[in-house]
Amino acid sequence: MAQQRQAVDVVGGVDTHRDTHTAAVLDTAGRQLGSAQFPATAAGYGQLLEWMCGFGTVVKVGVEGTGSYGANLTRYLTGAGVTVVEIDRPDRKTRRWQGKSDPVDADAAARAVLAGRRTGVPKDRDGRVEAVRALRVARRGAVSHRADVVRQMKALIVTAPEPVRAALSGLTTARLVAVCAEVEVSAAQAGDPAVAVRLALRSLACRVRHLSDEIVDLDKVIGRLVAVVAPKLLAVNGVGADCAGQLLVSAGDNPDRLRSEAAFAMLCGVAPLPASSGRTHRYRLNRGGDRQANAALYRVVLCRLRWARPPRPTPSAAPPKARPRKRSSAASNATSPGRSTRSSPPLPYRTIFLRLRDLSGNLDGGGPLLPIGGRIRSRPAPRSRGGLAS
C-alpha cells in the first residue's frame, strides 16, 4: 500500500499564519487526501513536508503569503527541491460562497495550483537584494516618521501663544528645525504654556535631526550595496540608488522569474488593461501591481524629462487658409504633438528589464511592451474604421 501511495502525484496547499500553518493535499483528480495543522517552526516545516510526502510524490505546493508569514516555509521547501507557487488569497465572491477557515483556504490554494490559475514564482529571500529590502524598510520608516514629526511641529505652532507663533510661523522647514533645536529654555518653567511649547519644539527638532542623520547613513549603505549588486542598472539615465533599490526589491533575488517584458510590466502596474465593449475599443490604466515599483518608474521618467528635446514641428494637414479652433493650452499640448513644448524621451522599460535580468545571466527580452498605463499617461491610440489603429 505504501508503494502505491509513493507512485501517486499530489499537489499541496498551505494557509500560513504567524504561529501555525494549515496544509491540504490533493491528488491529480482534485480529490482531497488530507488536511492538517503544523507549528510555524523549523521542526514544523519538516513535519509538514514529511506529511505531504506520505501521500505520494509532491509535484507543487501553493503557499499563501510567501513574502510574510510563509517566507521561512518557502525557503525550506525550495531548499528541499519542492516547486513552490505563490498564491493570493481567494477573492471575496469565492469566500462568501465557500466560507472562511484555514482548511478551506489551504484547499483553495492547492486547487489554484492544480488548475493552473496561479503560476507565480515566489521571490528568493536569501541574497543581497533581501539585504537591500531590509535596509529600505528602515529608511522608509525613518522618512515617514520624520514627516510626521515635522507635521507635529507645525501643528504646535498653529496653537502656540502669539509671541511664539509670530516668531516661527513664517520660517521654512529647514530653518524651523534649526531655530527650534538651538532654543534655550528652562524645564523648571514648564508650567508656562509658551515655555512648554518651546520645550516640545526643541525635542521634536532634535528628533528630526536624528532621523535625518539616520536617513543619510542608510542612504550611504544602500547606495554602496546597490552599486555592487546592479552597477549596470545605475548606469541607466535617470535611475538612482533609490529607484534601483526599489526595482531590485520588486524583482527579488531571482529576477529570472520575470519571464518576459510583459510580465515585468504587469508586476510594476504599467501594462495597459483592455476595457473594450462592443464597438468601443480602448485601454485603461492599470491600478494593480507593485505600486512602489510603479512610483520608481514614474520618478525615472520625470528625471529623464530634464534631457528631453523639443519635438520637431510637423506640417499641418489643414489648408493654408484654414485656422484651427481655439483651445486651451493644456488641451493643445496634450493632444497635438507638434504644438507641445516638450516631449518625453523613450521610456527605458526594455533597458531596465534587461539590466534586471542580467543579474541572473538570462537576457530573454520576451515580447514588446506598450509604454502606457500606470502613472505614465499617454495620448490614446488613434482609431480607424476597423477598430484600433495598429
SS3 per-residue string spanning 326-384: CCCHHHHHHHCCCCCCCCCCCCCHHHHHHHHHHHHCCCCCCCCCCCCECCECCCCCCEE
Residue 88: its pLDDT value, please? 82
What percentage of the chain reaches a pLDDT higher than 90?
Answer: 42
Check residues 126 and 91 and name the one with the higher pLDDT: 126
- Tell whether 354 and 248 lie within a shared domain: yes
Q: Report CA torsion sign: 355, 360, 364, 369.
A: negative
- Tell whether 281 and 375 lie within a shared domain: yes
Checking if the pLDDT of 386 tops 60, the result is no
Query: How many of the other CB atoms lie within 10 Å of CB of 259?
Result: 14
- Tell whether 7 and 140 lie within a shared domain: no
238-248 b/e (C-beta count within 10 Å ≥ 16 → b): bbebbbbbbbb
How is 116-151 classified by DSSP, letter by letter? TS--PPPPP-SSHHHHHHHHHHHHHHHHHHHHHHHH
Residue count of the chain, please give it.
Answer: 390
Q: What angle do CA 243, 247, 248 make, to 5 degrees?
A: 115
Residue with the three cell numbers 494637414 = 317
* Rounded-to-integer distance, Cα 90 and Cα 106, Å: 10
Q: Is residue 62 helix, strand or coil?
A: strand
Please report whether residue 323 resides in a domain. Answer: no
* Rounded-to-integer distance, Cα 118 and Cα 108, Å: 11
Counting the structural domains of the chain, the total is 3
- Tell whether 248 and 215 lie within a shared domain: no
Please report whether residue 120 resides in a domain. Answer: no
Residue with the three cell numbers 543619510 = 216
Average pLDDT over residues 55-82: 91
- Tell whether 266 and 175 lie within a shared domain: no
- Tell whether 195 and 271 lie within a shared domain: no
Average pLDDT over residues 226-249: 90
Residue 313: its pLDDT value, please? 65
Confidence of residue 357 (pLDDT cuts 50, 70, 90): confident
Residue with the three cell numbers 510555524 = 40
Residue 65: its pLDDT value, please? 87
Residue 355: its pLDDT value, please? 80
- Tell whether 196 and 258 lie within a shared domain: no
* Rounded-to-integer distance, Cα 59 and Cα 71, Å: 20
Check residues 67 and 2 and name the one with the higher pLDDT: 67
Q: Which three cell numbers mark 348? A: 527605458
Q: Which three cell numbers mark 264? A: 515585468
Q: Is residue 67 helix, strand or coil?
A: coil
Average pLDDT over residues 158-167: 90
Q: Measure the CA dihedral 219/222/225/230, to 10°.
A: -100
Query: How many of the other CB atoms lie within 10 Å of CB of 14?
Result: 29
Range of the domain at 78: 2-115
Please report whether residue 390 resides in a domain. Answer: no
pLDDT, mean over the chain? 80
* Rounded-to-integer distance, Cα 220 and Cα 110, Å: 44
φ and ψ at residue 361, rounded to 5 degrees: 80, 10
Please report whether residue 389 resides in a domain. Answer: no
Please report whether residue 324 resides in a domain. Answer: no
- Residue ending a domain, choose from 229, 264, 286: 229
For β-strands 383-384 and 387-388, DSSP reports them as antiparallel
- Model's pTM, two decimal places? 0.72
